[in-house]
Structure formats: structure tokens, C-alpha cells
Chain A
Amino acid sequence: MKVLAAMSGGVDSAVAAARMVEAGHEVTGVHLALSRNPQSFRTGARGCCSREDAHDARRAADVLGIPFYVWDLSERFAADVVDDFVAEYAAGRTPNPCLRCNEKIKFSAVLERGLALGFDRVATGHYARLLPGPDGVELHRAVDGDKDQSYVLGVLGPEQLARSAFPLGDTPKPQVRAEAAARGLLVADKPDSHDICFIADGDTAGFLSSRLGSQPGAVVDTDGTVLGSHEGTHGFTVGQRRGLRLGVPAPDGRPRFVLDISPAERTVTVGPREALEVRELEGIRPGWTGQAPVAEWHGTVQLRAHGEALPARAELRDGRLLVRLERPASGVAPGQAVVLYDGTRVVGSATIDSTRHGTTGARDAQPVAAR
């Protein structure tokens, strides 16, 4: 097979490429240049997009003896990931840019370009497994549960999965590092990247303020009583507790959390932890890794990266995905993905649009964060 290995400059993608070479494939390495100004992205070990990372990727390709190129996807990335990220926050939602990058860049723009140029597959260092199933290839959680990245791949459809390869899904991370060292890859002990690659200093609020400006508004409790002020709703995420800077303590002295964000009114609603509990949610833009479920589905759902798997039921109604959780979940932020699992298998995903505080069956319960 002709394989295009996306090489970020990190250890995972380097070992993924190495494994594809070892499996006898004709592998070409590509590093994706995502920033128009490489300096403005995080440098060195902490991110995915800097000049240094391109260098590290190139050196890994040298060690593997494969051709290597840098593809400039900075315009697509700016439009489809960064602008989308800002727009989502502006709308009071909490996006996952890695997921968007997989959906729009790695397994879309890059995959399409690769296929057009004669490649059969795109390989990445994601921790997830592709396993053969009765109806085609299935996406499964990685063996290493701590590293599992199937959540950020949950947006991929069957055609994309059939053209992908995730060679690391069956291996625990420490073993991947050891393998990198054994293969002479210099990135073996490079730290993992955790943060958002296009926010150089890790200051998401500062980044959003620089893009969205200051839009002061009120912090209110569930009765509408004004408790404080803020510089823009984009500084908040549903479920957030820190940084609310409320002068007045809650009457019961217990911590308060962000319950709802309303950019239109410029209000941030806060309240006690119980009020965060969500029983039901609605997802938009549902997508499936294979066949869409026909009847009511039950399995587990994951509501954020590294979140736990929660037993749930779901059904499609008018193109929206209605999800009922068996036990309430806390801090479910609109804009994040709900990813559906059948055991370890990813079934599909949707973008969380609204959440309800109700109990199972009580579909008319009071909306907490519906819009």
C-alpha cells in the first residue's frame, strides 16, 4: 500500500510511520504546516505546529528512510479550525479543536489530497484501533485506556475510516516510547503535547479576548440576581468553577459553577453543582462510523475528551440525536461532542447542542442550557 504518514514531530506519529514502513508499505511522511506564522504557534515539545516540530518530523523521516514533505494547510486550518473555534466560543459553546482538525483537515483535506495523488491510506499516531467487522472496518478504543483518542476520531465516517490507519491502537504509550528509542528516533523522550496548538502561551481566555474583544456582561444566579461581571462570555465553559471572581459568597457557602452561557444577553449563569447535572442532551449533525442505528440505541456515551463512558440510550428524531443518560452527568458543555460507544466500538457522534436537567422519561423538564 502507498501510505501517507502524517508526522507531527512527536513520538507517536513517528512510531506510527515506522510501523507502516516495517509492515512493508511504501510510506511518505508529511508534516502539516498549520500556522501562517510558525513562530506564533507553540514551539518545541509542547505543541504540534512549530518549526521545531517540522524539523523533528523531518529527522524522524530521515531515520526511517522515507520521503518527507511539508504540506501547507494553514489557510484551511485558519478557516476550518481556528475561526470555527472562535465562532463557537462566541456563540457560548465549548468546541474541541482537535476533533475539528481531524474532521476537516487530517481526514478530509489531507486525505483527499493524498488519495488524489495516489495514496491508499493516511496513517496517524492516534491511539485508537481499526478492526475488521461484519459491515466493514470498525473504530475501537485503544488498548491503553489513558491514551485512548477514539473520542476525537468519533466524527469520522466509514469512507474516512476505510482510508485510515492507526498503528498505535494496540500498544500502551510507555511501550511506544521504548520502541521509538529502540528505533533510534530522537523524539523518543519528547514530552506529549496537551494543549491547543494554535494558542502559543496556553492562555485560551487571552486568545479569545484578542479575537473577540471585551464584551462585558453580568454573572447571575438562577433567579437572575446579578452576582458580578465579566469581560466576555467567551471566557467561560459550562461546568467551570475557577475564575468566576464573585465577590458575594453563595448563601450556603458552597462552590458555584457555570451553568449556562448566553452570549446574546451576555450573561453567565452560575449555581450549585447539582444544577449542573444533566440527564438528557440533544446533539446536532449526527454522524456514524458505519450504519446509523435504526431503533432506539443503548450503549455508552462519552461527553468530553478523557471523559468516562456513561450508560445511555439514544434515538434519532428529525435529524437530531436525543440522548438520555442512565445516571446524571456533570458539566456537559454544548459544543463538545457526544460520542456513542458499543463496548469499545465507536458508533458515531454528534455535537452537543442543548442539555436538560430532567429525569429519564421527563422530556419536558426544565431546560438548563438549551438554546
Chain B
Amino acid sequence: MSARVYLDHAAGTVVSPAARTALVEGLALTGNPSSLHASGRAARRLLEESRESLAASLGAHPGEVVLTSGGTEGDNLAVRGGWRARRAEGRDAVAVSTVEHLAVAATAAALAEDGGRVVGLGVDADGRVREDVWDRVDERVAVASVMWVNNETGTLQPLDRLVEACRRSGAWSHSDAVQAVGVLDVDFAASGLDLLTVSGHKLGAPVGVGALLVRREVRLHPVGSGGGQERDIRSGTVPAALAAALAAACAEAVAGRAEHRRRASELTGRLLAGLAASGLEGWRRNGGGEVSPAVVNLGFEGVRADDLLMLLDAAGIDCSTGSACSAGVVQPSAVLLAAGADEATARSALRFSFGPTTTAEDVDALLRVLPGAVRTARRVA
């Protein structure tokens, strides 16, 4: 395959050199961090140093870091574990925005099997949680979960309002910050959140590791049972090498985030200006005015996103619809539907997302083929 123009960093970004080095070095250690002998202690030391580093990068206390296998597990622990912990208090509901990733949305929906209720927090036309829904976070809500940055559109959510509503009602606040770390200033202590999800492969670590930040006063119930290695919340041997890679990637991403933001804004501007100059009609950027600079979700009238994706793929461009696939079939964007779009519009959007390695040349390469590809895709009846 010739050189690809990779514009799908929100799905998985490049593993940073620092993370790669940390991983390889970590893999040289033999032993289980729970073992009591010298080898075990060495693994444990790497694990705890990684935890401390990660905590420092994210404005958390090391004791607040629960290492996980990734974002999905963190979201499961927060939503299900939070609900289980609090239903005895009469809090039988979870409140979630209607634009959450499936890791949150499907977890919440699955609680119904155990007698849970889902309180939906509706969004406006930009996909931001509406001002008038926060009352729904009441005394019966165990956990309220609203993502920091939407993975499809990049829309930023009003987390201060979430925290406020949770303070008032006594619910725990959770935010899936998978798309925020490394782009925005994510500081757990400053955020006032009770729970925050991080995923490694979105910020330069390998796939298969992540973290849930859990405020010290918050006692989640475990979701899976076992040895309780991570604060009795999460069981299973913790992969010290992956933790080290996560810590290294996170430190690098946090140190570089201001620069990444600046560059990503430039790239976004270049893409939008280039498209405007191309004379292509019938396109718009989805997600409203407050969006991550690293995600550009574009809707193209009269186009099915999967056709456009195929044409761009053939032209060397990797991008995504950002929405869920079912058995390989692209579904209409649940995020855009929740924001009030009709089905055709919800099928017409593509997500381009930038990482630290994305260059102006990448955007130019996209601009060379995108207008023509849109016109071709419009020929499909």
C-alpha cells in the first residue's frame, strides 16, 4: 500500500515513540506486580511509578487512578459500578446524554435488565446538552454521565453544568474524556468530576490500556469479580508495561496539547477554507461552534457517507463516519439523529480527525480529492 493520508486519529492515533520505548522496556520485566518477591516488586514499582506519572498528567491523586483495558471498560465501571453502588440508597437511575459513545449508552441501557432506569439528557441542534434538562438529574440518579468531547462531531459539553447538577442532587458525575485528553486541558481535580474515563490508544499509547479516575470518596462496586487488584473495583493482573506506555504517552500528550491544539486549529481552518474555495456546494460542518479543533465532522448533501468513504479510501485517504457499525454496515449517526437531523443527513457525515503527526500536506491531499469524490458520490441515486 502506498503512503496513506491518515485522518482518523479519533479512532486510534499513532503510538508515540516514548510509549513504544516504555512498553518495550516494561516487557523486559518478568513477574506479576502482585507477587511478593523481588521480581514482583520490580513490576509493582514500574506500575506504581506509571500510576503516579499518569495522575500527575491528569491532575489526579495516584490513589484515584484505576487502570483498565481501555475506554469501554472505564465507562462500564463508572456507569454500572456507580449504579450498583448506589441503588440501595434509592438511586435507581443513571442520567446520560443522548450523544454518548456506546460504551456509556449501551451500558446504561443494559441496566434495565437489572431494574435500572435511564434518564436521557437531550441535546440541542449542535449536539450540546440542553440548558433545560439538568433538572432531570435528581435524587434518584446514581450517576450522571456526559462526555467531555463528542467522538463523532467533536462537540464540547458543558461539564460545569454537569458538576453543578450532580452537586445539587448528590449524583456522581462521570465524564468520558477519551477524546479530550491530549487536546484539551483535562485536570481531574479542577474539573470537580467524580469519575473520568481515559483510553490509551486515543492519546498515543497502544490499544488495550486505559484508566478510570475515581475520586477517593467514591466507592464503585466492581463489575467483574476476581482478585480486586485495582482498588477492589477492577480485577485482573495489571499490565505494568502497558501502564508505563500509557503514562509515557499521556505525559507527552499533555505536554504537547497546547501546540497540538494550535496546529489542529490551523489544519481545521485550512480544510474548511480549502473546501469553501473549491466551489463545492451543499456541505457543512456539524457539531456547532464549540468543538474540538482535532475533529472536523462534515455533512455532504445528497451523499451517503459510506460511498464517500470508499471513494476516499481508494484515493488514499483514511477517514471515518465516526458512527457505529453493525456487522460492517455503517449506521446513520446516532449523534446527529439525537441533535435532530433527519436520516439522510445522519447518513451523510464523515469525520476527519487530526493527530500530532497530521500535516498541512495531509489536508491538502484531502482537498485535492474530496470535492471530486463528493460529486461522484452524488451520482448514486
Contacts and interface: CB of A to CB of B under 8 A. Distances in A.
Interface string A136-156: 000000000000000000000
Contacts, number: 42
B381 interface: yes
Contacts of A113: 307, 380-381
B377 to A, nearest CB: 7
B381 A33 contact: no
Contacts of A131: none
Nearest to B309: A69
A199 to B, nearest CB: 20
B330 interface: yes
B376 A118 contact: yes
A116 B381 contact: yes
B327 interface: yes
Contacts of B311: 117-118
Contacts of B310: 28, 67, 69, 117
A70 interface: yes
B277 interface: no
Interface of A: 28, 31, 33, 38, 51, 54, 58, 67, 69-72, 112-113, 116-118
A33 B327 CA distance: 9
B329 A33 contact: yes
B372 to A, nearest CB: 10
Nearest to B313: A67
Given A67-B313, A67-B314, A117 B330 contact: no
A112 B327 CA distance: 23
Contacts of B307: 113, 117
Interface string B346-381: 000000000000000000000000000000110111
5 contacts: A33-B327, A67-B314, A117-B376, A117-B379, A118-B376
B379 A70 contact: no
Contacts of B377: 117
A44 to B, nearest CB: 15
B139 interface: no
A72 B381 contact: no
B306 interface: yes
B328 interface: yes
A51 B326 CA distance: 10
Contact of B328 (A70, A116, A117, A118): A70
Nearest to A113: B380
A60 to B, nearest CB: 14
A51 B327 contact: yes
B306 A69 contact: yes
